[in-house]
Amino acid sequence: MYEIRIHSRGGQGGVTAARLLALAAFRDGKYATACPFYGAERRGAPVVSFVRIDDHPIKVYSQIRSPDLIVVLDRSVMDVVDVFAGLKPDGKVLVNAKEFAVEGRKVYTVDLTGIALAENLVVAGSPILNTPVIGALAKMGVITIDSAKKAISEMFSDERNVRAAAAAYKEVSA
C-alpha cells in the first residue's frame, strides 16, 4: 500500500487534491481512499489529508502516521506542524517551491503557486493548488498523467485546471 499525507492550509485545495488523487488512482485501475483531517478550521488554518493507493481493496480509513510520500502545498505550515513526522526512511517529499532541500530525503519541487496564478486559478485571493499538484504527482509516478487529466475533467469543467496539471507535470524537478 502506498500512503500519502498532504499538508496544506484551508482554501488551498488540499482536501480536493486528495480526492482527485484517489479518483485518478481509481482511473488507473487501483483501489484508493482519501480522508481529510480537520476540525472547524477556517480558510488559512493548517489542514492535513490522507490518500492510500493499493492493488488490493483498502480496509483502513484513518490518519496516516508513516507515509511513503509527504506533499507540502504551503511551506509556512512547516512552521507550526512537523510535516516530516513518521516519513518512512525511503520516503519522498513534494514541496510547493522553486527550490527546497531536506537532508537525507528525496525532495521534488514545483512552483504550484506560480502555475495556479498563471492560469488564474484563484478563489478569494488565494491560488488553488489542487489541480497543479495532481500533475506533479503524475510526473513522480504516483498516477499516470492520463488518469490525472481524466479525474480533473470529471471534477472540473474549466480547462485551466487540466492546463495547470500539465504545466506542473513538465516543471516538477528532483
Domain edges within the chain: 2-171
**Alpha-carbon span 32 to 16, nearest angstrom:** 14
**pLDDT value of position 41:** 59
pLDDT for 60-115, tens place per residue? 989 999 999 999 999 999 999 999 999 999 999 999 999 999 888 999 999 999 99
3-state secondary structure of 157: coil
**Alpha-carbon span 152 to 31, nearest angstrom:** 18
**pLDDT value of position 80:** 92
* 21's grid cell: 488523487
Q: Are 56 and 19 in contact, with CB atoms under 8 Å apart? A: no
**Residue 7: its H or E element:** strand 2-9
CATH class of 2-171: alpha beta
Closest CA to 34 of 67, 65, 66, 6: 6
Q: What is the DSSP string of 68-137?
A: SEEEES-GGGGGTS-TTTT--TT-EEEEESSS---TTSEEEEE-HHHHHHHTT-EETTEE--HHHHHHHH
**pLDDT value of position 159:** 95
Q: Is the pLDDT of residue 5 over 70?
A: yes
Q: Is the pLDDT of residue 173 over 80?
A: yes
**Residue 165: its H or E element:** helix 159-171
Give the pLDDT band (50/70/90) at residue 174: confident
pTM: 0.94
**Alpha-carbon span 109 to 63, nearest angstrom:** 24
pLDDT for 111-163, tens place per residue? 999 999 999 999 888 899 999 999 999 999 999 999 999 999 999 999 999 99
pLDDT for 9-67, tens place per residue? 988 899 999 999 999 999 999 999 999 887 665 677 889 999 999 999 999 989 999 99
Q: Report how far apart, in Å, the C-alpha atoms of 15 and of each of 43, 71, 73, 88, 107 are.
A: 12, 12, 11, 22, 22
**pLDDT value of position 37:** 81
3-state secondary structure of 154: helix
**pLDDT value of position 22:** 98
Q: Are 147 and 24 in contact, with CB atoms under 8 Å apart? A: yes
* Residue in the block written with cell 512552483: 111
